[in-house]
């Protein structure tokens, strides 16, 4: 900590410029996204139905005769 010479006033920091400080905006209102969420769920179901066969194509097959010893 630097000591100020006797008789001199400490140098204050300059005042912050306008716009350089963030102020919370309490007037924001959340948009209703239920319609979008329902649409997104339907699109996701279509996508899963289209590509489910690639997720685990051999999952339904039996493992007999593979020599795994299980």
Contact 4, 10 (CB under 8 A): yes
Band of residue 68 on the pLDDT scale cut at 50, 70, 90: low
Spatial neighbors of 10 by CB under 8 A, at least 6 apart, are 4
Residue 37 confidence (pLDDT): 95
User: What global pTM score does this model have?
Assistant: 0.40
Strands, E assignment, the chain: none
4-32, pLDDT tens digit by residue? Answer: 556 655 567 666 666 666 666 677 777 88
Band of residue 55 on the pLDDT scale cut at 50, 70, 90: confident
């Amino acid at each position: 900590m630097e000591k100020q010479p006797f008789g001199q006033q400490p140098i204050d920091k300059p005042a912050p410029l306008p716009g350089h400080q963030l102020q919370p905006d309490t007037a924001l209102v959340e948009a209703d996204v239920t319609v979008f969420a329902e649409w997104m769920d339907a699109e996701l179901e279509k996508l899963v139905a289209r590509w489910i066969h690639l997720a685990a194509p051999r999952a339904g097959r039996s493992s007999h005769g593979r020599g795994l010893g299980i």
